[in-house]
Structure 1
Amino acid sequence: MLRYYEEVAVVIPQPGTEARGANELRTLYGSFMKPGTTAKQIKTHVTEADGIALFTSRWSLTIGDEPPQEFIATTVFRRQSDGGWKALIDNARGPLVLD
């Protein structure tokens, strides 16, 4: 997972929490990305301007035998010097951050 993020990336996994930088992201994803966990993009939309992209998606998360949960995420990507893209800010639960 970490290869998709910039070294200084911020992930908001749920309202009121943040993981900043590679070490915290490694801990965050290690806490729930275990065998039997799946994340699936359902629908996506990208708007790009001058090397910055806003990625909005409806996605689902299934952990073990629990029913899937659906979320709307907003993520800011930045074009890298090699032409690829990496996430800088990942708000995994989108508008729920307002609750």
Structure 2
Amino acid sequence: MNLPKRAEDAHATLAAAFNTGDVATVLSMYDETGIIVPQPGKTATGRIQFEESIRAILSIKGKMEIKTVYCLQTGNIALGRSEWSITDGDEVNISAKGIEVMKQQPDGTWKIVIDQAFGAEANLKA
């Protein structure tokens, strides 16, 4: 899988990676020094926890879709706001509104450093 060359393409690339069902492909989208919030109140850091979180999400049956609400970039840092879902046919298995911080890599590609998958939900408290 090719990592995105533009920050605004990170959401589509991440959805495509999830839809492969391959943990290694999904992991390649993340900077493993960062943080994933795979469910409200739970954080994951480091390769082992990232992999556990990604395996849990991949276990949800269906296709992931991620809509980019906005992507703001300054230099090699970008902030994305997303609306994502995993659907199986007409059934929505999970959906949420997320916030992601991305960082441009030395080769010009972008990786996600912070993935707060539920960060833009109205009822979420910090």
Report the counterpart of residue 84 of structure 1 in structure 2: 109
* Structure 1 length-normalised TM: 0.84
Where structure 2 has 5 or more consecutive residues not aligned to the other structure, the ranges are 1-25
Please identify, of 40-49 and 63-72, the stretch whose mean Cα deviation from structure 2 is larger.
63-72
Cα distance between partner residues in 1 of 2:60 and 2:94: 17
1:3-22 deviations in Å (ceiling 9; x for gaps): 00012120011221001011
Q: Where in structure 2 are the equivalents of 1:2-17 lying within 5 Å?
A: 2-17=27-42
Give the CA deviation at 1:30.
Answer: 1.1
Cα distance between partner residues in 1 of 2:88 and 2:37: 18
Cα distance between partner residues in 2 of 1:63 and 1:29: 18
Q: Answer whether contact 1:45 1:57 (CA < 8 A) is retained.
A: yes
Q: Would you say how many aligned residue pairs link Structure 1 and Structure 2? A: 99
Report the counterpart of residue 21 of structure 2 in structure 1: none
Give the CA deviation at 1:94.
Answer: 1.4
Relative to 1, partners in 2 of residues 1:69 and 1:87: Cα closer, same or farther, differing over 3 Å? same
Please report the RMSD computed on the Cα atoms of aligned residues, expressed in angstroms: 2.3
**Percent identity (aligned):** 29
Report the counterpart of residue 39 of structure 1 in structure 2: 64
Cα distance between partner residues in 1 of 2:86 and 2:49: 20
Cα distance between partner residues in 1 of 2:91 and 2:83: 19
Relative to 1, partners in 2 of residues 1:92 and 1:80: Cα closer, same or farther, differing over 3 Å? same
1:20-60 deviations in Å (ceiling 9; x for gaps): 01111101111230373321013431100021000111111
Say if 2:105 is the partner of 1:73: no
Where structure 1 has 5 or more consecutive residues not aligned to the other structure, the ranges are none
Q: Which residue identity does 1:98 align to in structure 2?
A: K
